[in-house]
């Protein structure tokens, strides 16, 4: 955890390194940086105040844990308190009612419609027969949008002609669900401002009429200080049961979630990532805590890697990496795995310290270039792949011609490989902890 903090938190750790005892003055300096880090992450300023006060108590009261420097201890106290507030892993969705009604609400542009489709896909995978209801009657083409999504994923959409009020659509949607034996109804509502009284009134009427088992508030991960007011307003007027935090595949830290959770106690039901309908993940408090603190999401990456990487191969690979015996064969097999996994930038971004370790790889690599690199490696002989040091000028030329690239590209690849090997040697020399982390990275 401590290898990958945001720069500001690194500073906290560094400043207190080597101190046997931490004075209150030291602590206050550290907490000021932590306050700033949390504000930068969009945690509501009132919540930050209370939070920092609680951390202060926790840090002062505790003994110095073995193996941790004082700075690390402070950061750990922050991390633990974050996880504490963010709450335990969520319960499954309440699926009572025949049919179960799930209503999605939130501000304009928060991602409700996309989330409805994602939820529908997920529920279907769980053996349900969902029906999506297009009750956004205000946004031009909102109904079309949901209908098209329904077509894309093969899930039925209930819609009515333009001019039908939202309340009526919700009602007829449930009626259709009963008649056609859908067991879950997902209602997409129009985005609305929490300060828009007439629109909030409408939502209350719809909710009253359909009595949802779950009312999910969809919140954009990049929402700022106003997040708490938004959630409070919706929560006061509607039986909101949970949050969906969307656009988490971006780099917004997501501190809005901490604010909302702190003040309203609402659980985070799901995390939305990406625009594709498979982009819905369960919520893990420790991961969000790390993200808010600016750390890489190593666990997500490990899981993704585990889905696609052969376990034995990855163990072997981890060993080779640590021994700096990482060759072009290994790189090629990794590239192939990576191409299966998804956009490289996203993945590399998840590796804590990716800036350092993957810097060399990152330079060469965006999705288009992976194929070129693979072509270069394919044009080498097995001996050349295993011992790239033998690749002198004439071989480089041959490889360039064979792969349809240039000697410059071949040179660049070899240089980057050398850099990666050097960095891995450094990493390997950092001892068992680094080895463990790398191992986790590759599914060990």
Partner 1 sequence: MISRPRREPGGLGLRPPAGGIGARLRAILGIDAPHSEATWDELEEALVAADVGAATALELVEATRAQVGREASAAQIRGALAGEIRDRLARVGSGRFVLGPAPAVILVVGVNGTGKTTTIAKLAARFKGEGHSVLLAAADTFRAAASEQLRLWGEQLGIEVIAQRPGADPGAVAFDALAAAESRGSEVILVDTAGRLHDKAQLMAELSKIRRVIQRRLPEQPRHVLLVLDAVIGQNGLAQAEAFSQHAGVTGIVLAKLDGAAKGGVAVAIADRLGLPILFAGVGEEAGDLAPFDPAAYAEWLLGS
Residues that bind partner 1 (CB under 8 A): 35-36, 39-42, 45, 107-111, 137-142, 144-149, 152, 162-163, 190, 192-199, 202, 220, 222-227, 229-230, 247, 249-253, 255-256, 275, 343, 345-346, 349, 366-367
Q: Which is nearer to partner 1, 148 or 429 (CB)?
A: 148
Q: Which is nearer to partner 1, 50 or 310 (CB)?
A: 50
Residue 255 C-beta: closest distance to partner 1, Å = 7
Residue 293 C-beta: closest distance to partner 1, Å = 14
Identify whether the C-beta of residue 226 lies closer than 8 Å to the C-beta of residue 195.
no
Per-residue burial over 399-437, b if 16 or more Cβ lie within 10 Å, else e, is: bbeebebeeebbebbbebbeebbebbeebbeeeeebbeb
Q: Which is nearer to partner 1, 266 or 410 (CB)?
A: 266
Nearest to 401, CA basis, from 382, 375, 371, 370: 375
Spatial separation of the C-alpha atoms in residues 281 and 283, rounded to whole Å: 6
Q: Which is nearer to partner 1, 231 or 424 (CB)?
A: 231
Q: Which residues contact 338 (CB under 8 A, 6 or more apart)?
A: 344, 347, 370
| Residue 138 neighbours by CB distance under 10 Å | 13
The two structure tokens encoding residue 332 = 């090629």
Residue 389 C-beta: closest distance to partner 1, Å = 32
Spatial separation of the C-alpha atoms in residues 34 and 48, rounded to whole Å: 9
Q: For the chain, report the end-to-end CA distance as a whole number of angstroms.
A: 18
Residue 341 C-beta: closest distance to partner 1, Å = 15
Residue 165 C-beta: closest distance to partner 1, Å = 8
Residue 120 C-beta: closest distance to partner 1, Å = 14
Residue 366 C-beta: closest distance to partner 1, Å = 5
Nearest to 19, CA basis, from 53, 75, 69: 69
Q: Which is nearer to partner 1, 134 or 427 (CB)?
A: 134
The two structure tokens encoding residue 93 = 């969705």
Q: Is 399 left (phi over 0), alpha (psi -120 to 50) or beta?
A: alpha
Side-by-side strand order, sheet with 157-158: 157-158, 130-135, 184-189, 100-106, 214-220, 242-246, 268-272, 280-282
Identify whether the C-beta of residue 105 lies closer than 8 Å to the C-beta of residue 199.
no
Residue 169 C-beta: closest distance to partner 1, Å = 12
DSSP codes of every residue in 405-418: S-HHHHHHHHHHHH
Q: 17, exposed or middle or buried, with CB in 10 Å at 0-12, 13-18, 19+?
A: exposed
Residue 254 C-beta: closest distance to partner 1, Å = 9
Q: Which is nearer to partner 1, 166 or 177 (CB)?
A: 166
Q: Which is nearer to partner 1, 224 or 265 (CB)?
A: 224
Q: In a 3-state reduction of DSSP, which class is residue 419?
A: helix
Q: Which is nearer to partner 1, 220 or 281 (CB)?
A: 220
Q: Which is nearer to partner 1, 144 or 278 (CB)?
A: 144
Q: Which residues contact 64 (CB under 8 A, 6 or more apart)?
A: 70, 73
User: What is Dmax (Cα atoms) for the chain?
Assistant: 78
């Amino acid at each position: 955890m401590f290898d990958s903090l945001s720069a500001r938190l690194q500073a906290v750790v560094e400043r207190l390194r080597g101190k046997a005892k931490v004075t209150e003055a030291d602590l206050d300096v550290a907490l000021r940086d932590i306050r700033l880090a949390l504000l930068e992450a969009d945690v509501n300023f009132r919540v930050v105040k209370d939070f920092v006060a609680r951390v202060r108590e926790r840090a002062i009261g505790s003994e110095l844990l073995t193996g941790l420097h004082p700075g690390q201890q402070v950061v750990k106290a922050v991390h633990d308190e974050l996880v504490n507030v963010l709450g335990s892993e969520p319960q499954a969705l309440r699926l009572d009612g025949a049919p179960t009604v799930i209503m999605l609400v939130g501000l304009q542009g928060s991602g409700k419609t996309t989330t409805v489709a994602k939820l529908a896909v997920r529920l279907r995978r769980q053996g349900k027969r969902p029906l999506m209801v297009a009750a956004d009657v205000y946004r031009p083409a909102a109904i079309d949008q949901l209908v098209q999504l329904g077509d894309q994923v093969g899930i039925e959409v209930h819609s009515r002609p333009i001019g039908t009020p939202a309340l009526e659509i919700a009602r007829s949607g449930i009626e259709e669900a009963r008649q056609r034996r859908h067991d879950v109804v997902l209602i997409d509502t129009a985005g609305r401002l929490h300060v828009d009284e007439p629109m909030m009134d409408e939502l209350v009427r719809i909710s009253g009429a359909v009595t949802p088992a779950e009312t999910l508030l969809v919140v954009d991960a990049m929402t700022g200080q106003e997040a708490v007011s938004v959630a409070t307003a919706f929560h006061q007027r509607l039986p909101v049961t949970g949050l969906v935090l969307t656009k988490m595949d971006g780099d917004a830290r997501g501190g809005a979630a901490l604010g909302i959770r702190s003040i309203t106690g609402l659980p985070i039901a799901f995390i939305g990532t990406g625009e594709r309908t498979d982009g819905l993940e369960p919520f893990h408090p420790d991961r969000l805590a790390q993200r808010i603190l600016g750390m890489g999401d190593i666990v997500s990456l490990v899981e993704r890697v585990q889905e696609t990487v052969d376990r034995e191969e990855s163990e072997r690979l981890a060993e080779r990496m640590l021994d700096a015996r990482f060759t072009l064969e290994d790189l090629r097999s990794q590239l192939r795995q990576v191409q299966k996994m998804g956009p490289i930038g996203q993945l590399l971004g998840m590796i804590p310290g990716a800036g350092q370790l993957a810097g060399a790889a990152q330079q060469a690599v965006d999705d288009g270039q992976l194929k070129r690199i693979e072509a270069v490696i394919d044009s080498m002989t097995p001996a050349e792949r295993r011992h790239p040091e033998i690749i002198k000028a004439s071989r480089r030329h041959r490889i360039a011609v064979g792969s349809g690239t240039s000697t410059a590209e071949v040179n660049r690849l070899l240089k980057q490989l050398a850099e990666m090997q050097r960095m891995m040697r450094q990493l390997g020399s950092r001892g068992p902890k680094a080895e463990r982390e790398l191992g986790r990275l590759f599914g060990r």
